[in-house]
Homo-oligomer: A and B are copies of this chain.
Amino acid sequence: MGKRLPTMPTLKNVANLAEVSIPIVSKVLSGNPGVRVSSDTRQRILKAAEGLAYRPNALAKSLKLKRTNTLALFMPDVGNPVIPEIIRGVEDGARAAGYSPFISHLDEKVISERLYLAWLQEGRFDGLIIATARVEDSIIADLISSGLPFVLVNRREASTNMHVSIDDAAGARIAVNHLAGLGHRRIAHLAGPLMYDTSLRRLKGYQQELDLHGITYDSSLVQEYDWHTWDGGKLAMKQLLKRENPPTAIFAGNFMGAVGALSALKEARLKVPEEISLICLHDSPIAEVLDPPLTVVRMPLHQMGKCAAEMLINLLEDRPCKIPLVLPPDGLFIRKSTAPCR
């Protein structure tokens, strides 16, 4: 069904036009330096290819070469403002090595259908970068046992060392240290879904740093929230504000949560940072235009993406992998949402 619109020129067409054989055209056009060819023949081929606007068919080439030079990048949620950073990092890493990354946006349905596994098995891509925490463990296990090349981003897995993540605990500690340094003692934590190891590590960092400052951990100051939505943080913040003894500072596990929390604080007529301080992990250009601009611990998302691409490509090209598995946070970016505790 369906007319095939324009027919692309093939090697055969070029060969006919240049009055030579197909293989020699291939050799000349693929620029193989070792090929010996008379300059006359070369010119004829080049002219013919140019005239026909010839482009090698990627499918045929990849089939023969068993290499597509493409990567698939699986993203959970393009709406999350931290995602673009990662995407750009992957792109930079991949393109520098001659690979083209293609992004696939995974909604629940696709995740459950294991389409990504299929794409890899079907040879459409050389490798896979998975940047979604939502993928089930069982599927990761399948992926590992299939032996197919993939890298996990922002998610660690004991059974493989193909993953890159950021030191969440360290990030959390920087945030809490900042808050504690400002004199805050009742520091709440808006924690991402605790089914994700990333959230768990942030929580642990929060606890550790509290401990270091001699603040006893109060689990009622930890409120889990849904970080897939913008108002997950808002709902959680409202919960937290219901306490009889509300916190003087909030450490939000991610950016979306902080924005939601800020919204809740405003509805509650609490002044940020005068009455309550707010800090979060991750940065985003939006942080600058919020009221007040958000103090954040910036995480090296771009670098994480880039490392993931490099790691994967190293694997694909059978080179030793010397990429760090865990990246340190970029550090504190103080804007206007945190202030000394009154």
Q: A interface vs B, CB < 8 Å?
A: 1-6, 8, 53, 55-60, 62-63, 66-68, 70, 72, 77-79, 81, 83-84, 87-88, 91, 100-105, 107, 115, 118-119, 121-124, 146-149, 229-231, 234, 259-260, 262-263, 266, 285-286, 288-291, 315-318
Contacts and interface: CB of A to CB of B under 8 A. Distances in A.
Contacts of A77: 84
Contact of A100 (B58, B104, B290): B104
Contacts of A263: 288-291
Given A58-B124, A123-B8, A104 B107 contact: no
Q: How many copies does the complex hold?
A: 2
B285 A229 contact: yes
Contacts of A146: 6, 53
3 shortest A-B CB distances, which residue pairs?
A58-B122, A263-B289, A6-B147
B55 A288 contact: no
Given A72-B102, A79-B81, A102-B102, 17 more contacts: A2-B67, A8-B121, A53-B146, A58-B122, A59-B59, A59-B68, A59-B123, A60-B63, A77-B84, A78-B78, A79-B84, A79-B285, A102-B104, A231-B289, A260-B289, A262-B289, A263-B289
A289 B234 contact: yes
Nearest to A117: B55
Given A8-B121, A263-B290, A290-B263, A3 B103 contact: no
A31 to B, nearest CB: 16
Contacts of A259: 286, 289
Given A6-B146, A149-B5, A318-B2, A55 B122 contact: yes
B105 A103 contact: yes
A230 B287 CA distance: 9
